Amino acid sequence: MLHDRRWAGDLISAIRCAVVLLGLLLLIDWSADTLSLGRCALWSALAVLLFLLLCPDRIRAGEGWLTSRRLLRTRRIRTDRLVSVRSPDGIARRLVLRDALGERVELDLQVLLDNPDLWYRLHEDARRSLALGTLLCGPAALERISERVERETAATVFRVSDLR
């Protein structure tokens, strides 16, 4: 089973950001002598909201499946039965996968760029879906993403090897 190797670090960063925000808000309120129980609860709620916004999805994959797990929900798709692969344009670089069972997973493209083994597993299963004829929408998007992952992986290898 493969998983996002950077998930734990991203989770710790989300926790740190929320704790720092809470600490700063409480410190400012305390220094202004306006700290009360109600304001403390408000700042705590704001810090929890920030954590929920920053908390990363936990991505795991195996042969024929991929899961995306958030705090309150888990989504699982069959990657060997994909019907659609889309990469919508916009600020957030996301990849939207839909399988023949109607399930849908949306994941950050950076996860695949940071974890080439996850990308390889997804790409192999997507090619299997294409060969079976279930992948009807998205082979071009899949190839664009493949080229990008390979380009960034090669650049990382060159950078680490001091060949660049």
- The 3 state secondary structure assigned to 75-94 is EEECHHHEEEEECCCCCCCE
Residue 91 lies in a domain: yes
Percent of the chain with pLDDT over 90: 62
If you average pLDDT over residues 23-50, what whole number do you get?
A: 96
Do both 50 and 86 map to the same domain? Answer: no
Q: pTM for this one?
A: 0.81
Classify burial at 122, counting beta carbons within 10 Å of its beta carbon; exposed 0-12, middle 13-18, buried 19 or more.
buried
Instruction: Name the domain count of the chain.
Output: 2
pLDDT digits (tens, 9 = 90+) for 74-113: 999 999 999 999 887 766 688 899 999 999 999 988 898 8
What's the CA gap between 76 and 66, in Å, rounded? 6
Residue 67 lies in a domain: no
Do both 84 and 14 map to the same domain? Answer: no
Do both 50 and 80 map to the same domain? Answer: no
Residue 64 lies in a domain: no
Going from the C-alpha of 128 to that of each of 17, 41, 80, 107, the distances in angstroms are: 41, 52, 6, 20
Residue 65 lies in a domain: no
Residue 62 lies in a domain: no
Do both 87 and 40 map to the same domain? Answer: no
pLDDT band per the 50, 70, 90 thresholds, residue 69: very high
* Number of neighbours of residue 158 by Cβ within 10 angstroms: 11
Domain around 130: 73-160
Phi-psi region of 86 (alpha: psi -120 to 50; beta: other; left: phi over 0): beta
Do both 94 and 47 map to the same domain? Answer: no
